[in-house]
């Protein structure tokens, strides 16, 4: 009898865990689908702004007060940079392309002239 009760409790708890995991995964999947649809249908800079809404990141920052406001200003600069990139690249603009360009610029910014190393530069960065 006791084994039957234990098995029932395990099954009960597994259903709860599965339910919670299923709900979390379902929420994640809904966000993913909305992001994918937005990415496929919107200009890149509009997508980045929409991504902040879809994920709830903008709301979270707004709730943080002054620190959140500073972060929102940084996000505004990011959106502005994405818009500049998209305007320059036209239809070829993509999020991976933007991130690659930002990474290349970041590498150039951390260049140390005094370092005893050979520096290689891509044609893209030149």
Same domain, 126 and 65: yes
Cα→Cα distances 110→24, 59, 73, 113, Å: 40, 33, 23, 10
Cβ atoms 86, 44 nearer than 8 A:
yes
Same domain, 83 and 62: yes
Same domain, 34 and 51: no
Same domain, 29 and 59: no
Same domain, 50 and 101: yes
Same domain, 22 and 53: no
**pLDDT tens-digit readout, 76-117:** 999 999 999 999 999 899 999 999 888 876 555 555 667 666
Structural domain that includes position 15: 1-41
Say what the pTM is: 0.64
Mean pLDDT, the chain, rounded, equals 81
Cβ atoms 62, 72 nearer than 8 A:
yes
Same domain, 91 and 51: yes
Number of domains in the chain: 2
Same domain, 31 and 64: no
């Amino acid at each position: 009898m006791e084994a039957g009760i234990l098995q029932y409790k395990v099954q009960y708890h597994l259903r709860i865990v599965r339910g919670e995991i299923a709900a979390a995964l379902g929420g994640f999947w809904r966000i993913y689908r909305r992001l994918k649809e937005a990415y496929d249908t919107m200009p890149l800079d509009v997508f980045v702004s929409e991504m902040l809404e879809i994920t709830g990141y903008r709301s979270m920052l707004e709730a943080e007060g002054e620190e959140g406001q500073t972060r929102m200003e940084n996000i505004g600069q990011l959106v502005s940079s994405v818009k500049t990139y998209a305007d320059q690249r036209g239809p070829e603009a993509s999020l991976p392309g933007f991130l690659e360009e930002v990474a290349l610029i970041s590498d150039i910014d951390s260049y140390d002239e005094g370092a005893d190393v050979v520096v290689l530069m891509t044609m893209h960065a030149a």
